[in-house]
Each structure stands twice: as C-alpha cells, then as structure tokens.
A and B are shown apart, each in its own frame.
Chain A
Amino acid sequence: MQTIGKGLRDNFDWPLFVTVATICVIGVANLYSATSAASEALSDRYIQQIYWLVLGAGAAVLIVAIDHRHFERFGYAAYGVGVVALVLVFLIAPEIRGSQRWIKIGAFSLQPSEMMKIILIVALAKYLHNDPKTDGRTLKDLVIPGAILAVPMALILAQPDLGTALMLAFIFGTIMLLTNLKLRSLAALALTFVISAPLTWTYLLQDYQRGRLTSFLDREADLLGSGWHAHQSIVAIGSGGTLGKGFMMGTQNQHRFLPDQATDFPFPVWAEEQGFLGVALLFFLYVFLILWGLKVASQAKDRFGAVVAVGVSAYFFWHTIINLAMVSGMAPVVGVTLPLFSYGGSSVLTSMMAIGLLMNVSIRRFSY
C-alpha cells in the first residue's frame, strides 16, 4: 500500500485533473443558465449536478486508490453484474417515454446501460490482457470479444436505446482497432456493418428513431416537427457569433426555443452565450482530454492499462463528437450526452468513473 500512496503523491496527473475540473465547472455554470429559464421543477438541476459530480469524484478517488491490476481480477465479475442489471431493467424499471432504462435505487435513478460502457471497457481490457496472442488477429479471434459486446448491446437495443447501444459498439470498435486486427478481418467487419444497416433500419428501429434520421437528412422539411430540435440548436449556435450573447443572455435558451437544454443540448446554450471563443475553449479541453488519454495509454506498462485508457478516450471521443455533430446538424438527434457537461446522474457518474480509471492508469504508468 505504500507504493500506492507514493504514486499518488508523486505522479498525480495534474493536467488531467485540471482539464476535467475545468469542464465540470464550466458545465455547472452552463447548466445554471440552461435551467434558469426552464420551469421551476428543473431550476435546481445544477445543484443536483453538483451532487452527482461530488459523488462521481468520490467514486473516482476510490478507483484511483486501487491499483488497476485489481480491477483486472474482477473484470468479468463486474461484467456479470452489469448484464444482470440490464436484465433487471426489463423486470423492474418503469416505462418512460416508451423505453425502460432506469432503475430506482432509493431517491436515485440509475441507468445500467451507462455503467455498462465502463464495464465493457474493463471486461475487454481483461480479455485482451490475458490473451497471449501477439500476431495478427483474425475474425475467429473476435468471437469472444464480440460476444462480450453483443450480450449487453442486444439488451440495450431492446430497451430500446439505440444511442447507448451504438456507443458500446463504437468503444468496442476503437479498442479492437488498437489490437493487431488483420486487414481482411477489418474488411469483413465493415461488410457486416453495411449488410446489417438496412436490416437494422427495417426491423430494429422504431418509427420515432427512423423519424429522427429522416429529419436529419431533410431538416427543412419539417421544421415544426421532428426537425425542430436540430433547427433551434443550430440557430442558437449560429446566433452566438464570435463573442456570444453573454452568460444568461442567450435568447434561444432563455425563451425556451432550445429543447432539452440540460441533457442533450447544453452545448448550444454554451455556444449561444459564450460564442465561438467559448466553443473553441471547450473544444480544446475535450481534445486535450482525449489526446491525454491516448498518451496515457501509450505509456501504460501493461496491456490492461493501455486498453482501459484507450477505452476511456474512446468513450469521451465518441460521446463528444456525436453530441457536437448532433447539435450542429451534422448527425441525427440520437440522444447522446456531452460528458461532464450534460445533466444526468448516470452520465456524470460514468464519466467520473472513467476519469478515475484513466487517472489510475496514468499514475501507475511510472511504477513497477
């Protein structure tokens, strides 16, 4: 235990900490503005967000304190718990807006599918760490990790929660790209995706999901209907200009033209009120965070640490770019949050735990 304490002191990853802390502070301030115009019930959300951040930070500290090699040991156990939680969702979760996602624990609602992202990273890391194979991987080698992905993904798709399911797939894909995948296997995967896309469209997607996708392709066609969210979001961003309208001064936000300002669309609030300068700052923070994660991965002393760091980077990368593309009209509105910026307990908790994992790997990259 002495090494842990020493590592924490000497090798604490200040750049990572400062970056994350800055995003959190900005995020809460932005949330304050975003929810100030909304109805009374939502106006104390920024307080709740602080609670979640504190809770998440606590979890992160715990995670940092434990050598990640211990996580490796419990990787599959955590995976099993996660899958059970996902099954439980169908049994005990109430249906909200046509899907079952949340489990109530006391006063809190938790979204097991969010936690599953972290668990998937850890489980894949464990698998790859223990896989002795070093030469090029073929499709056959992907069967087991594929299965690790497939079980939770299928459960999440059934909730239905397309956004989260896709996110798992993206994280999985990114991690797999790092391993020594053969070109032929890659081509085969791509082919599978191309074939499955139309089948997914026809059989798996709900009408509202199809509507979001079609409205993305032709936003102007139904501005008052399904194109409304994206349209108002773009207007908010564009009207911010270079310097922004000022904190609490965004008209799109304050006059409630932006939908779901707290959860899916906090970025337009920021872009409208802080302008391009604020946007550039936020971009810098996220890019730094992601690249830092990759750097940590590259310096990790073992494969488990490397895969976890890459997984966390992938988690932030995909979440961030999908949310940004979504709010700026470059991707359909799929309900993917902006990590540490969007309101939401599960999202915040997951993000903080992911940061904890990254910090853990980062601190121990110089040890042993």
Chain B
Amino acid sequence: MSSLLSVRREVGEFRKRYKWMALVVIAVFGALLGRMIQLQIVEHDRYAAIARDNITRTITLPATRGVIRDTGGRIVATNRAAFNVYLTPQYLASSDLARIAELMGLDAEARATLARRVEEVPAPRRAHQIRVFTDVTRDQLAALETHQQDLCARAGTSERPIRLPCLYTAAEPVRTYPYEQLGAHAIGYLNELSGEELERLAPAGYRLGDRIGRTGLERAWESYLRGRRGYRRVFVDVRGREVEDALPTDDRPTRRDPVPGRDLTLSLDMELMRIIHRAFAGRPSGAAVVVDVRTGAVRALYSKPSYDLGAFTRGLTHAEYATLRDDPFRPLIDKTIYESWFPGSTFKPFAALAALEHRTLDPNERIECTGHIDLGNRRFHCTQSHGEVNMREAIVQSCNVYFYRLAEQVGQDELAHLAGDFGLGRRTGIGINAEAAGLVPTRGWYETAGRRFMLGYTLNTAIGQGDTRANLVQVAMAYAAIANGGTLYVPQLVERVTTPSGETVEEFEPRVRRRVQVAPEHLRLLIDGLYGAVNDPGGTAYEAAHQVRGTVAIAGKTGTAQVSQRVRPGDPDRGTWTRRPHAWFAGFAPAHDPQVAIVVLVEHGGGGGTNAAPIAVNVLEEYLGGQASTASAPPLPPARSARATRVARR
C-alpha cells in the first residue's frame, strides 16, 4: 500500500507541473498569435500588395502618338505598325536561339549579340519577356510564326519539360516620317529613354522602353503628342498562365483604354520646304526661313544638310552617328535656330532706321564713299568706291562707308536698342530646339566683357559684323516687322491642336511680341530702299532677280558676312571653304503687299547677291508666282524726308 501513497504524492507533484505546462502552452500560442497579428493586421497591406502582384500581369496598351501635319494637311510624322519580337529567356533552350537566328536570317555578329542579350538577363527577370528584335520584316515575321510551335519544346529538364510559349510577336506603332530628311531639324525625332531619364520621368508615366521626343517639334510638343497609355490587367497562376475566371483582387478596373495623342497642324508648308530644297541644289550647307509677315506663322524652317529622321528613330549605329557628327557641313546642327551668325549687311536697314528715328541723319544727305574710312590707325573697308550716296542708294548698293558715317552719328546703344526692338539678338521664343540668342552689343556689354569701348565697334555693328550675331528666325521676324508696319510677332510653328477625329482642341492666334514705335514714313523709306536693292539696276540683288524675270515683286537686302580670318590649325582642306563669307539674303514679297518674309543663308557661300539672292528669288517666285501678278506693281511712292515727318517717339 505504500506504493499507492507514493502515487498520490506523485500526482500532487504532477499537478504543479501541469500548471507550468499549461502556462508554457499559452505563452507559445500567445507568441504565435502575436505573429499572426503582425502578419494579418499590422503588415496586412504589404502582403496584400504582394499577393495582388503575384497574380496580376499588366499588359500595356500603347497610346498612338499624335500625327503631325503641315499647313496643307500633308502628313509630316505619323505611325505605322512595326512587328517586334519578344523572348522569354527562361523557356528557351539553347537550340531555340540558333533556330530563331536561322529563321531571322541573322549573320554571325547578330547571332552573338542575340545570345549575349538573352544571357545577360538577370535571374529574376528571366520569366519575363524581353524585346529582342524591333521592326522585323514581313518575311521574318512569317518565318517565326510558322515555326513558333517547334520552339521551346526542348526547354527545361527531362523530368520537368517546359512547354510554354517562349517567343512572342507583337505589332506596335513606330514613328515614321514621310518627308525623311526634309525639315528634320524642325520636326525632330524620338528615341528610347535612358535609365537616368527614366528616374526623372517615371512620375509622368514614362516607362522603360518608352520613346520620347528628342528634338524639334517632337520634343517641344511631347506632352500633346504622347497621349496616355492604357492597360489591360490579366490574372495569372504561379506559372504565368492566364487564368480565365480570376478572383477579384480589388476594385481597380481591369482595363483602361489608351488615349491617343493630339494631332498637330503646323504652319510649316512642306511644299515650300521642297521648293527651298530644290533651290539649294549645289549648295552644300545653308539654311532658310520663311515666315508670314501678317501672323508670324513660320512657313519654312530649312537647314542643310539634314539627316533621315527614320534612321534616328530606328537608332543609329555608332559609325553612322560618327559620320554625321564629323561631317564638316554639320548636318546635326539646326542652322535656323541653334546657331547665330554675323548678319552682315542684312543688318543695315535697322542701322538706317535707328538713324531716321533719332533724326541724326537726313536720308537725302549724300555721303562720299571713297572705298574706305580710316579711324585711328585702322582702316574700315567698303566693297568698292561708291562715290556720293544717300541713304536709299547706300541700301541699294550696300555701301559700308555710308553706314560707318551713319553709325558714328547714331551711336552704339541707339543701334543696339532699335535692333533689339526688332528682336535681333533676342530669343524669338520659337520654342523648338535650343535657340541661340545672338547679340547686338551695347557699350555696357563691352564694359561687362572687359573690353574698352571703341568707336570701331559701332562701325562694325552697323554693318552686322564685329560682335553682332543673330539667328535666321530673328532676322526673318525683323524683316517681317519692317514689311508689316512694325509689328514683331512671336514665330509660331503650330496652327492648331486637334483630336485624332479632327476636333480642334486648341487654335493658336498670332502672338504679337511688340509693336515697334517707328514712323511709317521711315519704314516706307526703308522698304523703298529694299525694293531698290532687288529691282534697281545696280542693286545688289538686281542680277539675281533680273535673271529670273519673275512676276513677284521682292524687296530685300543681300549680305556678305565676313567670317574670322583665322584658319583652324591642321585643317588645310577646309580652310579655304571656312574662310569664305556667308552669303545672305533677307527680304519680303510681294514688296507692296507683303505676305512672307524670307531669309536665306548660304554658309560660306560667298557674296550674298550672287549666292543667296538667287535662291530667295527662285523660292519666292515659285511660291508666290502662281498668285496675283505683282510684276506691274506701281512704283512705291517716294519717301518724304525724315526731317519733315512727325515721328512717333518711343
């Protein structure tokens, strides 16, 4: 019976231990419950998001980029379907790659590139598609699609074969430019975002592989053209296969239709661009701008040589890019906007206007030109000895000495201010590409630049040399302002924005930058001079205009801008070309009822009268010649003396 007693004692001992055990059980389950609270309540959102991402694949529905048309409705930039090929590295056997290369007809180098491309995909991305070919030909596409079934059959191990599609083709829009090279700088091209840009632009909805406007209008109007991508969400299982009757994960819509980009209608006239291009035949390098003097609408922005927008959009090889970059005629530079030039004699009308407005010179006063003037120990040259000339004759014959004398009397700052009022040396705000500001120096500018001001600077300024620089659009807008009675417009390239179905979203009215306060008499006097330069025998552009025997009355000014005499070291071939002056013509037509202003620059073309003026005359003749005849235009009324005129003072 002693054993029975001891059992009783032991049971008592057990009871104590049960209590401890129960406590341990409760504590352990308490800890596990804590973990469940952490997972299910505290961190719920995080895991819910992971679970959602697990089963959701978002398929992007690309937005069609807006179409760009010229003022006549001709398509300048549009989209076509390109077939792109995607591979899923994880499902690929090595034999598949060789087969794909064979079907695509790749050469050895391209095969190696393909193999490297696939190999480089990091492990976590291997179950995702990567784009390996863009814009394949119809034949390649047909070959791939025919043999799609045999591919991917050998992937995986013998125990776990993978029989999932490893190859995928998709039609995606690609940008195409029917005019290829024509107007390339103004229109611009697209290419793919880099990783760094992506970081910056991701909030705006850009993604890896997206293309973005790089230059010209494609860049400046990116936000209008781009549209908004849509998406379709599909639900997949753990193997990435689409599940038909998927479970709802949230209230987000499973589809958002893409919003196509807005279409642009430009003020540019591609027919005019063609005309200009033909007129530039035989000239390797140059630029031209045509604007509507009544609205500031830009009708032509032509920069030569150019490049093929399609090639840029496809992507250039390094060699192709290097060829363009190293071309001495600099095809990559937009010579209408990006670069500023010595305006040369095309500046003279503004010097003359400054003198008239400040009444420092009677336009009828004759100044003797002996071919040069001496200032201190420097000699300032003229093209020839013109004898005694008044203002009109000085403009017609482009006499430098007259303008040297004029400049002495007007003064540096007065020249600069008037030129500035006409927009020279000031950015026009055209809004595409990087615009060169140019410069019309003031006394203050020289001081800031640390150069002691000298009268010689003013002399050079008056003939558009020295430190005076302007871009072509500035000169065109300034001449347009002369032609239209003093209204300086903002150059506009886009007439209106429309939806793809043609509804107008936004229409752009002419934007006046400034109404320059100059006396109409003075402008008439100036226009008379410009008319003379083209139409008077002895005018600098007379020969050019005479040869054409056109029907369009043109007023304008030639320019022969001297360039630096320095020869770039180690450059014997180019030395001669780069030392030739730039040939200019700036003017407007019809002379008595101006519609358009034109600026032509032949880079290192030589004399403006023989090299630039013929181009301008031909272009205007072809462009406006079909319109109302202006050949028998009545002569302009003689300008009255400036001194006898009431001048609108600034």
Answer yes or no: do A and B interact.
yes
- Residue contact B36 to A276, C-beta cutoff 8 Å: yes
- Give the dominant DSSP class at A's interface: helix
Chain A binder among B19-27, B193-201, B206-214, B372-380: B19-27
Whether B626 is near chain A, meaning CB under 8 Å from some CB there, is no
Contacts of B55 in A (CB 8 A): 251, 255, 257
Cross-chain contact of A251 among B3, B11, B123, B247 (Cβ < 8 A): B247
Identify which of residues 258-304 in chain A touch chain B, using a CB-to-CB cut-off of 8 Å. Answer: 271-272, 275-276, 279-280, 283, 286-287, 290-291, 294-295, 297-298, 300, 302-303
- Residue contact B13 to A180, C-beta cutoff 8 Å: yes
- Residue contact A255 to B39, C-beta cutoff 8 Å: no
Identify which of residues 109-132 in chain B touch chain A, using a CB-to-CB cut-off of 8 Å. Answer: 123-124
- Residue contact A239 to B48, C-beta cutoff 8 Å: yes
Identify which of residues 35-78 in chain B touch chain A, using a CB-to-CB cut-off of 8 Å. Answer: 35-37, 39-41, 43-44, 46-48, 50-52, 54-55
A303 to B249, CA, bound (A): 55
A178 to B435, CA, bound (A): 90
Q: With A283-B32, A290-B25 as known contacts, state yes or no: A234 contacts B47, CB within 8 Å.
A: yes
In the assembled complex, how far is the CB of residue B57 from the closest CB belonging to chain A, in whole angstroms?
11
- Residue contact A238 to B46, C-beta cutoff 8 Å: yes
Chain A binder among B233-241, B261-269, B519-527: B233-241
Cross-chain contact of A294 among B18, B40, B48, B237 (Cβ < 8 A): B18
Q: With A241-B44, A276-B41 as known contacts, state yes or no: A298 contacts B15, CB within 8 Å.
A: yes
In the assembled complex, how far is the CB of residue B18 from the closest CB belonging to chain A, in whole angstroms?
5
In the assembled complex, how far is the CB of residue A231 from the closest CB belonging to chain B, in whole angstroms?
9
Whether B157 is near chain A, meaning CB under 8 Å from some CB there, is no
Residue of A nearest to B249 (CB): A251
- Residue contact B15 to A235, C-beta cutoff 8 Å: no
Whether B28 is near chain A, meaning CB under 8 Å from some CB there, is yes
- Residue contact A302 to B7, C-beta cutoff 8 Å: yes
- Residue contact B39 to A237, C-beta cutoff 8 Å: yes
Contacts of A317 in B (CB 8 A): 25, 28
Cross-chain contact of B43 among A134, A224, A238 (Cβ < 8 A): A238
- Residue contact B32 to A242, C-beta cutoff 8 Å: no
Contacts of B10 in A (CB 8 A): 134, 180, 303
In the assembled complex, how far is the CB of residue B565 from the closest CB belonging to chain A, in whole angstroms?
69
Residue of B nearest to A225 (CB): B123
- Residue contact A235 to B32, C-beta cutoff 8 Å: no
- Residue contact B7 to A241, C-beta cutoff 8 Å: no
Contacts of B46 in A (CB 8 A): 238
A297 to B246, CA, bound (A): 50
- Residue contact B40 to A238, C-beta cutoff 8 Å: yes
A258 to B35, CA, bound (A): 19
In the assembled complex, how far is the CB of residue A297 from the closest CB belonging to chain B, in whole angstroms?
6
In the assembled complex, how far is the CB of residue B9 from the closest CB belonging to chain A, in whole angstroms?
7
Residue of A nearest to B33 (CB): A283
Whether B577 is near chain A, meaning CB under 8 Å from some CB there, is no
- Residue contact B40 to A237, C-beta cutoff 8 Å: yes
Which of A235, A245, A297, A330 has the largest count of B CB atoms less than 10 A from its CB? Answer: A235
- Residue contact B41 to A255, C-beta cutoff 8 Å: no
Cross-chain contact of A291 among B9, B25, B243 (Cβ < 8 A): B25
Cross-chain contact of A134 among B6, B33, B249 (Cβ < 8 A): B6
Size range of the interface on A?
35 or more
Whether B14 is near chain A, meaning CB under 8 Å from some CB there, is yes
A262 to B52, CA, bound (A): 22
A178 to B124, CA, bound (A): 51
A249 to B247, CA, bound (A): 6
Contacts of B51 in A (CB 8 A): 235-236, 238-239, 251-252, 257, 272
Contacts of B22 in A (CB 8 A): 291, 294
- Residue contact A297 to B54, C-beta cutoff 8 Å: no
- Residue contact A294 to B21, C-beta cutoff 8 Å: yes
- Residue contact B50 to A328, C-beta cutoff 8 Å: no
- Residue contact B26 to A279, C-beta cutoff 8 Å: no
- Residue contact B44 to A239, C-beta cutoff 8 Å: yes
Whether A321 is near chain B, meaning CB under 8 Å from some CB there, is yes
A300 to B7, CA, bound (A): 11
- Residue contact B18 to A298, C-beta cutoff 8 Å: yes
Q: With A255-B235, A286-B29 as known contacts, state yes or no: A276 contacts B40, CB within 8 Å.
A: yes
A252 to B235, CA, bound (A): 12
Whether A98 is near chain B, meaning CB under 8 Å from some CB there, is no
Contacts of A245 in B (CB 8 A): 247
A306 to B39, CA, bound (A): 37
Whether A324 is near chain B, meaning CB under 8 Å from some CB there, is yes
Whether A75 is near chain B, meaning CB under 8 Å from some CB there, is no
- Residue contact A242 to B40, C-beta cutoff 8 Å: yes
Q: With A283-B33, A286-B29 as known contacts, state yes or no: A252 contacts B54, CB within 8 Å.
A: yes
Whether B359 is near chain A, meaning CB under 8 Å from some CB there, is no
Contacts of A134 in B (CB 8 A): 6, 9-10
Contacts of B47 in A (CB 8 A): 234-235, 237-239
Residue of A nearest to B39 (CB): A238
- Residue contact B39 to A297, C-beta cutoff 8 Å: no
- Residue contact A177 to B17, C-beta cutoff 8 Å: yes
Q: With A239-B44, A251-B249, A287-B26 as known contacts, state yes or no: A328 contacts B238, CB within 8 Å.
A: no
In the assembled complex, how far is the CB of residue A42 from the closest CB belonging to chain B, in whole angstroms?
15
A210 to B51, CA, bound (A): 28
- Residue contact A328 to B33, C-beta cutoff 8 Å: no
In the assembled complex, how far is the CB of residue B340 from the closest CB belonging to chain A, in whole angstroms?
58
- Residue contact A255 to B32, C-beta cutoff 8 Å: no
In the assembled complex, how far is the CB of residue A337 from the closest CB belonging to chain B, in whole angstroms?
16
- Residue contact B14 to A235, C-beta cutoff 8 Å: no
Identify which of residues 187-212 in chain A touch chain B, using a CB-to-CB cut-off of 8 Å. Answer: none
- Residue contact B25 to A280, C-beta cutoff 8 Å: no
A132 to B6, CA, bound (A): 9
Contacts of B247 in A (CB 8 A): 245, 249, 251, 254-255
Contacts of B37 in A (CB 8 A): 276
In the assembled complex, how far is the CB of residue A253 from the closest CB belonging to chain B, in whole angstroms?
10
A237 to B25, CA, bound (A): 22
- Residue contact B40 to A224, C-beta cutoff 8 Å: no
A286 to B37, CA, bound (A): 17
Whether A27 is near chain B, meaning CB under 8 Å from some CB there, is no
A286 to B47, CA, bound (A): 26
Residue of A nearest to B243 (CB): A255
- Residue contact B124 to A306, C-beta cutoff 8 Å: no
Q: With A177-B17, A255-B243 as known contacts, state yes or no: A321 contacts B32, CB within 8 Å.
A: yes
Whether A56 is near chain B, meaning CB under 8 Å from some CB there, is no
A212 to B36, CA, bound (A): 22
Cross-chain contact of A237 among B6, B36, B235 (Cβ < 8 A): B36
Contacts of B11 in A (CB 8 A): 298, 300, 306
Interface string of A81-95 (1 = CB under 8 A from B): 000000000000000
- Residue contact A287 to B54, C-beta cutoff 8 Å: no
Contacts of B40 in A (CB 8 A): 237-238, 240-242, 271, 275-276, 279
Residue of A nearest to B24 (CB): A317
12 contacts between A and B (CB under 8 A): A132-B6, A178-B17, A180-B10, A240-B40, A251-B54, A255-B246, A255-B247, A257-B238, A283-B29, A283-B32, A300-B11, A330-B32
Q: A245-B247, A298-B18 are in contact. List 11 more A-B contacts (CB 8 A).
A: A236-B51, A237-B40, A241-B41, A249-B247, A251-B249, A255-B55, A279-B36, A283-B29, A287-B25, A298-B15, A328-B32
Residues of B within 8 A of A (CB): 3, 6-7, 9-11, 13-15, 17-18, 21-22, 25-26, 28-29, 32-33, 35-37, 39-41, 43-44, 46-48, 50-52, 54-55, 123-124, 235-239, 243, 246-247, 249
Residues of A within 8 A of B (CB): 132, 134, 174, 177-178, 180, 224, 232, 234-242, 245, 249, 251-252, 254-257, 271-272, 275-276, 279-280, 283, 286-287, 290-291, 294-295, 297-298, 300, 302-303, 306, 310, 313, 317, 321, 324-325, 328, 330
The 3 closest A-B pairs by CB, nearest first: A238-B47, A239-B51, A238-B39
